[in-house]
Amino acid sequence: MFGIGTGELIFLMLLSLLLFGPHKLPEIMRSIGKMIASIRKAANEFERNLNAESWESTDKEKPEE
């Protein structure tokens, strides 16, 4: 996962717990999760539009029989 080992992951978890505290950490993680979900949704929509445009341009290039 992103080239992060178990030890590094545990260190990052402990560091974030110390920096933000146990009460603020769930809210921060929830916000990060929503942000990642919106980025994935936008990327999927972009890919769908790109594929649709590609199919339309391919259909226009074919000679009609």
Give the pLDDT confidence of 16-43 residue by residue, as tens digits.
999 999 899 899 989 999 999 999 999 9
Confidence of residue 3 (pLDDT cuts 50, 70, 90): confident
Phi-psi region of 21 (alpha: psi -120 to 50; beta: other; left: phi over 0): left
pTM above 0.75, yes or no: no
pLDDT given for residue 56 in this prediction: 77
Check whether 62 has a pLDDT greater than 60: no
What residue ranges do the domains of the chain occupy?
A: 21-65
- Average pLDDT over all residues of the chain: 86
**From CA 32, how far away is CA 42, in angstroms rounded?**
15
